[in-house]
Amino acid sequence: MIASKITEYNALIFELTIREREYTVETLTSHFHNQVHCGTVVELYDKLINDMQRDGKLGNARVYKYSRTSLLKFTGQRLQVPFCDIDAVWLRRYENWLRTNGCSDTTISQLFRTLRSMFYKAIEWQIVKKEYYPFETYKVSKFDTRTKKRAITKEDVRKVIALDLSQGYPSERLARDIFVFSYFGAGINFADIALLKYGNIRDGRVQYIRKKTGKPISFLLMEEMRNIIIQYRQTGQTDEDYIFPILDRRVHRTEQQRYDRTHKVLTNTNRWLRKIVQRVGVEHLTTSS
C-alpha cells in the first residue's frame, strides 16, 4: 500500500514538473484528498445523479438518468468503461445507433450535450486528462434542433377564453386557465405556475423566483389573470397556499413529491389542451415545463 501511494505521488510530481507548475507538500496531499473517485462513466453518472437529487434538482437528475439509460442500452449494459475510451469514432457509432432507434436531432442533441457536460466534470475533477476530450472534433452543434415557430393569434386566445367549460371536467377547466394565465403572464412556465402562492401577488404584480434559474421575475397582473385567481381562491386560504389546485402544502412537502405531482399534472394538462384545440379549431396549444 505504501509503495502504491509513493507511485501515485511520484506520478503527480512528474506531471506537475512537465507542466512547469510549482507544488508543495500541501498541494500534493490536497490533490488526492479532494479527488473524486469515479473511474468510469457510470460511476460519475451515479454520483452526479445522487448529488442532484440531494440538492433538489430533480429535473436535471431526470435528464441525466435518461442519458445514463440510453448509454447502457447502447453498450449492452456495459458502461464500466473509462472516459478515455470514448472518442469521436465511439460517439459516431452512438449517434448511428440512436438514429437507427428513431431518435430525432433534438433528442440526440440533448443526449450528447449531457454526455459532454459529464466530460467537463470528469476533466475538472481530474478523472480524465483534457487531451481525451472528444468534442473538439465531434461537434454537438451540428444537430438541427430548430423547431417550427407556432404563433397563436389574439383571436385564437379569445376563442379559448370564450369556450364554455361549465359542464366539463375540472381538469379541462384547469388546463384552459393555466394556458390563459401563462399567455397573459409573460410566458410563465408550468413549474413556476404550480409553485405560485397568493403571497406572490403584491402591489398588482406577480413576483416570484424562477425555479429553473433562481432569478427574480416580476410582471403586471392582467385582468384576465386576476379573474382566474379569484375562481380558485377558497375561504381560509392564506398567502402560503398555492394559487392553483396542483400542489397542496399539507400533502406535497418534499421536493420529490412536488416534482412527481407537477410532472403528472403537466402531462394531464397538455392532454386536455389537445382536446381544446380540436373544439375551438386552434392549430396548437401547449404549456412548457
Residue 5 shares a structural domain with residue 19? yes
For the CA atoms of 91, 95, 98, 100, the dihedral, rounded to the nearest 10 degrees, stands at -130
For the ranges 88-97, 140-149, 269-278, which has the lowest average pLDDT? Answer: 140-149
Most confident of 39-48, 92-101, 275-284: 92-101
Residue 129 belongs to a domain with what CATH number? 1.10.150
Q: Which helix (H) or strand (E) holds 201?
A: strand 201-202
Q: Note whether 110 and 192 are same-domain residues.
A: no
DSSP three-state, residue 29: helix
Residue 201's pLDDT is 94
Q: Per-residue pLDDT tens for 200-242?
A: 999 999 999 998 888 999 999 999 999 999 999 988 889 999 9
CB of 114 within 8 A of CB of 69?
A: no
Q: Which three cell numbers stand for residue 30?
A: 490536497
Among the residues of 81-213, which ranges form H helices? Answer: 88-100, 105-124, 154-162, 170-184, 190-195
Q: Based on the domain organization, do 22 and 44 belong to the same domain?
A: no
Residue 125's pLDDT is what? 80
286 is a domain residue: no
In order, the DSSP letters of 70-95 are HHHHHTTS-----GGG--HHHHHHHH
pLDDT on residue 57: 82
184 inside domain? yes
> With bands split at pLDDT 50, 70 and 90, how would you rate the model's confidence at 245?
very high
Average pLDDT over residues 67-78: 86
pLDDT for residue 150: 60
Mean pLDDT, residues 95-116: 92
pLDDT at 195: 94
* Cβ atoms within 10 Å of 204's Cβ, excluding its own: 9
pTM of the model: 0.61
Summarize the confidence of residues 89-113 as an average pLDDT: 92
* CA-wise closest residue to 237 among 227, 250, 228: 250
Contact 114, 137 (CB under 8 A): no
pLDDT confidence tier of residue 49, bands split at 50, 70 and 90: very high
Domain residues for the domain of 27 are 1-35
Q: Which residues on neighbouring strands pair with residue 218, listed in sequence order?
A: 207
Same domain, 167 and 84: no
**Could you tell me if 95 and 72 lie in one domain?**
yes
149: confidence class by pLDDT, cuts 50, 70, 90 = low
pLDDT band at 89 (very low <50, low <70, confident <90, very high): very high
Look up cell 382566474; give the residue: 228
On whether both 63 and 114 belong to a single domain, the answer is yes
pLDDT in tens, 151-181: 677 888 888 888 888 888 899 999 999 999 9
Q: How far apart are CA 185 and CA 193, in angstroms?
A: 10
Q: Does residue 283 contact residue 277 with C-beta atoms inside 8 Å? A: yes
C-alpha cell at 228: 382566474
CB-CB contact of 188 with 182 (8 Å): yes
Question: Does 288 reside within a domain?
Answer: no
Taking a C-beta distance cutoff of 8 angstroms, is the pair 81, 36 a contact?
no
Q: Domain count of the chain?
A: 3
In which band, very low, low, confident or very high, does the pLDDT at 135 lie, cut at 50, 70 and 90?
very high
Is 114 a member of any domain? yes
Q: Give the C-alpha separation, 131 to 182, whole Å.
A: 46
